[in-house]
């Protein structure tokens, strides 16, 4: 019995050692090597909007903010972002929309192989549609600035955090945290960087 127990224990230790050697931790960072943010590449992604349901007020909300941009030079992107939002509640619904072109610049100063700091300016329009509401605006101007940090989890995928200062007169939330005024907020997004066909 002792031999059987010893053999089983040795076999278990051997299997554990082999398994431990073949399991690799998930990738949490990757070198950019400046290939992702080069002239001619595309950047597509989305602000990670919110989806939720408030049980007390029986309100459902959904925010989607897809975006696309083109690198007009190394580190410089020009593109546009779409804002779509829906809030459904007992007795009605609120639909929000917007289109905000943007210009983004990745700063080479303070850069590392796995991350980049960036600044962004945006200007566009937005609006809202709510039943029996005087606060609706078909179109209203939106403008603002963002400062952000892009951490590359793969050579062509980044997770981003942004600090946003956005102004609008529409009943919307374009990363501003408020509607109809100037707002300061934090945002989270992901981006995929696609090389141009010639590369």
Q: Which domains does the chain have, with CATH numbers?
A: 30-195 (2.40.160.20)
Provide the pLDDT for residue 49. 65
CA distance 168 to 178: 9
Q: Is 15 helix (H, G, I), strand (E, B) or coil?
A: helix
Provide the pLDDT for residue 17. 64
Q: Is the pLDDT of residue 64 over 70?
A: yes
User: Using an 8 Å Cβ cutoff, are 39 and 71 in contact?
Assistant: yes
What value, to the nearest 5°, has the Cα angle with vertex 177 and ends 37 and 125? 65
User: Using an 8 Å Cβ cutoff, are 45 and 192 in contact?
Assistant: yes
Q: pLDDT > 90: what percent of the chain? A: 35
Per residue in 105-147, pLDDT tens? 999 888 888 899 999 999 999 887 776 565 556 778 889 999 9
Q: Which residues contact 189 (CB under 8 A, 6 or more apart)?
A: 45, 46, 47, 48, 65, 67, 159, 160, 162
Provide the pLDDT for residue 174. 43
User: Using an 8 Å Cβ cutoff, are 67 and 44 in contact?
Assistant: yes
């Amino acid at each position: 019995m002792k031999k059987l127990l010893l053999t089983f224990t040795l076999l278990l230790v051997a299997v554990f050692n082999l398994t431990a050697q073949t399991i690799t931790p998930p990738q949490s960072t990757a070198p950019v090597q400046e290939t992702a943010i080069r002239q001619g590449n595309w950047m597509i992604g989305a602000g990670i909007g919110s989806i939720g349901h408030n049980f007390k007020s029986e309100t459902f909300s959904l925010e989607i903010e897809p975006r696309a941009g083109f690198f007009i030079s190394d580190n410089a992107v020009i593109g546009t972002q779409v804002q779509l939002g829906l809030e459904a509640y007992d007795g009605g619904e609120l639909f929000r929309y917007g289109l905000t072109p943007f210009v983004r610049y990745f700063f080479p100063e303070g850069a590392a192989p796995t991350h980049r700091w960036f600044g962004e300016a945006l200007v566009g329009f937005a609006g809202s549609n709510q039943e029996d509401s005087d606060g609706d605006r078909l179109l209203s101007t939106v403008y603002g600035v963002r400062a952000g940090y892009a951490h590359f989890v793969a050579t062509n995928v980044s997770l981003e955090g942004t600090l946003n200062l956005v102004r609008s007169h529409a009943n919307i939330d374009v990363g501003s945290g408020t509607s109809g005024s100037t707002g300061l907020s934090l945002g989270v997004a992901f981006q995929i960087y696609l090389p141009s066909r010639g590369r």
